[in-house]
Chain A
Amino acid sequence: QKEVEQDPGPLSVPEGAIVSLNCTYSNSAFQYFMWYRQYSRKGPELLMYTYSSGNKEDGRFTAQVDKSSKYISLFIRDSQPSDSATYLCAMSDDKIIFGKGTRLHILP
């Protein structure tokens, strides 16, 4: 089992819909959880970070961490075409581990 599992997609949703992106992991030692957005041919950009379990909200983005299930989620409300990108989950205890990324397309 890989340390971090993330569905590569692509995921296509209509503009305005709620998007749900998820990752599962196997290492219970992970304490820090992050979501990055990467546009084509650009470096990843930090979107959200969470320590331990719980929810965190920032504008249209909500990050959830469920350590008991080893499952993290990123929700995007009122999705926009500009949200079209690859979203990578990442988690760390000592070393940071990335998911493979989910390609998201928001259809106008």
Chain B
Amino acid sequence: GAVVSQHPSWVICKSGTSVKIECRSLDFQATTMFWYRQFPKQSLMLMATSNEGSKATYEQGVEKDKFLINHASLTLSTLTVTSAHPEDSSFYICSAPARLAGVGGNEQFFGPGTRLTVL
């Protein structure tokens, strides 16, 4: 199958600091990756689409200057939460599409998530 990893799995930081989260596709290449945020008992909320070699596309209401996305290679996308505040505390999940053998579509494979707590 297609494996996506995230690092770190959890992080605690002070208010005002920046936090970087990495998303890697381990056994396939991904020109596109997606970043989601999930609050407790809520569904996934798409934040942005990360595109290798070009600028990320942000969903309405997501501040691009606060959530910096860099898709430096075909296997790595990073999300940096700048000047984090307690309201940014959430579960951040990335995903990448991978075409499975014998199937015509692109299925999304998710990383294990990163739990961010801002004090």
Contact = CB atoms under 8 A, between A and B. Distances in A.
Contacts of B41: 103
Interface secondary structure of A, over-half rule:
strand
A30 B109 CA distance: 19
A49 B105 contact: yes
B99 to A, nearest CB: 11
B54 interface: no
A46 B109 contact: yes
A31 B107 CA distance: 12
A46 B34 CA distance: 15
A34 B113 contact: no
Contacts of B100: 49
B107 A46 contact: yes
Contacts of B107: 32, 34, 46, 49
B91 A41 contact: yes
Interface string B81-114: 0000000000101010000100111111111110
Interface string B55-66: 000000000000
Interface of A: 31-32, 34, 36, 41-46, 49, 51, 88, 90, 92, 96, 98-101, 103
List of 3 A-B pairs having minimum Cβ-Cβ separation, nearest first: A100-B43, A43-B110, A32-B105
23 contacts: A31-B105, A32-B106, A32-B107, A41-B91, A41-B113, A41-B115, A42-B112, A43-B93, A43-B112, A43-B113, A45-B110, A46-B107, A46-B108, A46-B109, A46-B110, A49-B100, A51-B104, A88-B43, A92-B105, A92-B106, A98-B44, A100-B42, A103-B41
